[in-house]
Amino acid sequence: MKKNLFGLCAVLGCVVALDASAAASRSSMYSSIDMRNADGDTIRINRSSYDSYSDGAGHMRHSASRSGMYDNMNSGYTRSEPMMVSKKTYVPGKTYKSAMRKYFIANPFYQPLQGQFGSVTTVEYMQGKYKFADVNRKLSEWSVKEDLSFGLTDRIAIQGMAKYNWDKLTWTNSTGYQDKYKNDDLNLYGLGIQGRIVDTDEWISTLSAYYEHQKHGVDYFIGDLKVGYKVATSTIYGLGRAWIVDMEGDIYGDYMEDATTWGMLKYGNADKTLFMGELGAGVWTVLAEDWTLNVEGMYGFYDWHNQASIKGAFGWQPNDWFALNLYAKTSIYDSAKGKNLDLYEGNLPLTQANWDAASTAVVEIANPREWSVGLQAMFQF
């Protein structure tokens, strides 16, 4: 077994459900606002069988003849949409002003088109807790993460990411003694590629791959597939995500000390790699002209435990190039509850002899819980 115990702290991502780049796996989508009155008694007005517009490259394209749907065109292009008005107020022959599509960059399928940049800056507070024997564990983390993407083509974009953490891991026993591990560091950086493989009036799908490096020498290889079905100004979607984690040690868990002894709660063994995954479903919808809502449920397989969580996000976008997204996420189930883990215990100092002479005990995890809140500032330029 390796003595580099803090290499295991890089795998706290397993314990806190691995934030890995959900914001990075988004592709382009546009929406016109549903202009129906409250009674829903509406008709659609087309000023001709279709409206033509220029895509900026000298080509003419035709708009979809569906109000309240999506296309994959940049909001910078000029176009008029069919609109919906109440039958009670409709006057034959009257000219009605068409609604313009807005590019909602808080969309979970966001991806910049060719020559565009997309930026998502996330400030998050996360807290994870559980208890075993007479010890309470609490991990608190503030972080700032930047995801910067660039469109190579309308279908393919590259992305760079970096995350800075302020972490505090606290162990408190029944006598009130605390062991605190504090760290602030550039904790994560990486590169990725995103592909928008389908984008029609009804369907959208993205496929993404990322490499991320976390401190203490742990590498993540991540694949992400997302498929959505467009209904009026909403998108219902499913997603799958997989991690291959290249470990530097053959044991991982949490490490703690008191005045004279050390302890390590063992989560698992990994000679070289760990395999983890997530499956989920969500809905993204336009609430009003400037407001959006995204609700997502996720079930994750994080090697030594599974976790179900739910996340909700409100987005505010006053124009085509800036948005704010406020979100909250909480676990609603964790298989760690009631799970028996090995606790290694030994004397300080942590020498090879004391490590080899360590004793083991079996402890039961109780009351696991994780939650986070965050604010995202989003730009496209």
DSSP, residue by residue, 155-170: SEEEEEEEEEEEEEEE
Burial of 126 (0-12, 13-18, 19+ CB in 10 A): buried
Beta strands in 40-116 (DSSP E): 42-45, 52-54, 60-62, 83-86
Res 96: pLDDT: 56
- Residue recorded with tokens 């009155």: 37
Q: Which domains does the chain have, with CATH numbers?
A: 5-27+106-380 (2.40.128.130), 32-101 (no CATH)
pLDDT tens for the chain, residues 1 to 381: 444 443 444 344 444 444 433 333 322 233 333 333 333 344 444 433 223 222 223 222 223 322 232 333 233 333 344 455 566 666 776 665 544 456 789 999 999 989 999 999 999 999 999 999 889 999 999 999 999 999 999 899 999 999 999 999 999 988 888 888 888 999 899 999 999 999 888 899 999 999 999 887 788 999 999 999 998 889 999 999 999 988 766 678 888 888 888 988 998 876 678 899 999 999 999 998 889 999 999 999 998 999 999 999 999 999 888 999 999 999 999 999 999 999 999 999 888 888 889 999 999 999 999 999 999 999 999
Q: What is the dihedral of CA 319, 287, 283, 327, to 10 degrees?
A: 70
Nearest to 196 by CA among 204, 187, 188: 204
Nearest to 229 by CA among 199, 207, 195, 202: 202
Rounded CA separation 272/227 (Å): 32
The answer to whether residues 76 and 100 touch, using CB atoms and an 8 Å cutoff, is: no
Name residue 2's beta-bridge partners.
Answer: none
**What is the value of pTM for the model shown?**
0.75
Burial of 51 (0-12, 13-18, 19+ CB in 10 A): middle
Radius of gyration of the chain (CA): 25
The answer to whether residues 140 and 167 touch, using CB atoms and an 8 Å cutoff, is: yes
Burial 145-158 (b: 16+ CB within 10 A, else e): bebbbebeebbebe
Res 236: pLDDT: 96
Residues in the chain: 381
Res 66: pLDDT: 28
Res 85: pLDDT: 54
Residue ranges in the chain assigned as alpha helix (H): 12-15, 352-356
The answer to whether residues 257 and 348 touch, using CB atoms and an 8 Å cutoff, is: yes
Beta strands in the chain (DSSP E): 42-45, 52-54, 60-62, 83-86, 117-132, 135-151, 156-173, 178-199, 203-214, 218-231, 234-246, 252-257, 261-268, 273-288, 291-302, 305-316, 322-334, 340-347, 359-380
> What end-to-end distance do the CA atoms of the chain give, in Å?
50
Rounded CA separation 70/56 (Å): 19
